[in-house]
Chain A
Amino acid sequence: MAAQRIAIVDYGMCNLDSVRRAFEEVGARPYVTDDPADLDAADRIVLPGVGAFPDAMRSLRSRGLDQALAKQVFHEGAPFLGVCLGMQLMAAIGEEVEETDGLGWIDARCVRFVPTDVDRRVPHIGWNQVTPTVDSPLFVGIPPGADFYFVHSFHVLCADSGDVLATTPYCDVFVSAVQHGQAFGVQFHPEKSQQWGLRLLRNFLAA
């Protein structure tokens, strides 16, 4: 089978090179683009991102990428993976900086961690365990509770538990992976999570 074409969406929020490199490592043909027209050629689409929610949404909208992504994912059936901020943007509303409408693919709000006595440091930075709550092609061959690398201050609160794919214990428990149809999102960085991260990207290529 020819290597899959993976469109990595560039909306000016950086961190693209690590994701591109990781997809090369697992045998795909990633390409970085900020042009909605280039998404047509993609077998799969990845929305990476670090940065603030409102800037990111403005940036996606100004390029027409919000519409193009929805079309590819929900009409053309292209599997989608949102990473970190890319997952958060799938939510209906983000609370970072100012309340902002997200892509609205999942019924969720993106909220700041509320520190507890035990977990009082925010951002949540480092390796933490990810436990799938349902069977998912994304986590095939990955032991439940495997450690992935996180670096974030906000997380997604799902109104529909049917969208939840995995959870992680921090400031109580938060949703660390979601799935809605063909659209997946992970709060951690698979491209920076060594063995299990690369396995998850391979799984995404097969999902």
Chain B
Amino acid sequence: MLKVRVIPTLLHKGFGLVKGVRFDSQRAVGSPMQAVKVYNLRNVDELVFLDVTATAEGRGPDLELIDELADECFMPLAVGGGVRSVDDVRSLLAVGADKVVIGTAALRTSDVVREAADRFGSQCVVVSIDCRDGEVCTKSGRVPTGRDPVDVAQMMEELGAGEILLQSIDSDGVMEGYDVETVARVAAAVSIPVIASGGAGTFTHMADVLRDGGASAVAAASMFHFTEQTPMEAKHYLADQGFPVRV
């Protein structure tokens, strides 16, 4: 049986990892290499690595860094932040990313998602949809688009996206639970997997969004950075609740 995934998210800014609240107020939380090595040892299901300042700074992904990180990653690695073109997708895959997360660029032009899916297959194209108060935002949450996440998700599926990373800006870093309602709306509207992100504070939150939201995977950052809770403990909890997990 296909397992639900528990995915630590690493947010990178400048030279280190950070974690904020509602896409803002970031605190430094350590070095990316150290985090990747620890998660590799801990046998996590998958990692999401997002360069949160690349788009704002108008630059592409840091390929050298991703190359080094991917070398230590014997589990799947999804990389995003600053992905603007099919060339960026190609470069990231070439240095060892298994999936590429496209955010702002996917909303700006539909070509990058379609071309990337045609060239490299849907399975490596993840579209990140960031929502604030039910509205899709781009550029790390700074620019509201006036669009509904369900419409955007359906359009991305149509263009060839293989997975949706659905991030709630309102819930981000607050650790009071996922935006189950939005996840449920999006997951019901598409047939590609949806990764719920933003709001995890307890294992119960994960169970809620998997059961009531229909998510295929749960991502979490603050919970793993700022509390003692680990991905493996999360999976043991979920297994006790009857979810299929890999332990």
Contacts and interface: CB of A to CB of B under 8 A. Distances in A.
B93 A123 contact: no
A198 B74 contact: yes
Interface string A122-154: 111111110000000000000000010101110
Contacts of B67: 17
B99 A119 contact: no
B94 interface: yes
A170 to B, nearest CB: 6
Interface of A: 13-18, 21-22, 25, 50-52, 55, 85, 115, 119-129, 147, 149, 151-153, 169-170, 189, 191-195, 197-198
Contacts of A127: 2-3, 5, 45, 246
A21 B246 contact: no
A170 B93 CA distance: 26
B216 interface: yes
11 contacts: A14-B93, A15-B98, A21-B70, A21-B96, A120-B191, A122-B191, A123-B122, A151-B76, A151-B98, A189-B98, A198-B74
Interface stretch (B48-56, B113-121, B143-151, B223-231): B113-121
B75 interface: yes
A123 B192 contact: yes
A15 B90 CA distance: 9
B3 A194 contact: no
A147 B239 CA distance: 15
Contact of A149 (B76, B191, B193): B76
Given A50-B123, A85-B121, A126-B216, A192 B162 contact: no
Given A17-B67, A125-B193, A52 B118 contact: yes
A125 B123 contact: yes
B216 A18 contact: no
Interface residues of B, number: 38
Contacts of A193: 74-75
A197 B74 contact: yes
Contact of B2 (A15, A50, A170, A189): A170
- What DSSP secondary structure best describes chain B's contact surface? loop
A16 B94 contact: yes
B83 interface: no
Contact of A194 (B5, B75, B98): B75
A126 B3 contact: yes
A123 B123 contact: yes
A198 B74 CA distance: 9
A51 B119 contact: yes
Given A149-B76, A191-B74, 5 more contacts: A18-B73, A85-B121, A119-B2, A123-B163, A192-B73
Contacts of B217: 126
Given A17-B96, A18-B98, A191-B74, A126 B122 contact: no
B33 interface: no
A21 B66 CA distance: 14
Nearest to A97: B118
B2 A124 contact: yes
Given A50-B93, A127-B45, A194-B43, A151 B246 contact: no
Nearest to B217: A126
Contact of B70 (A18, A51, A129): A18
B94 A121 contact: no
B234 interface: no
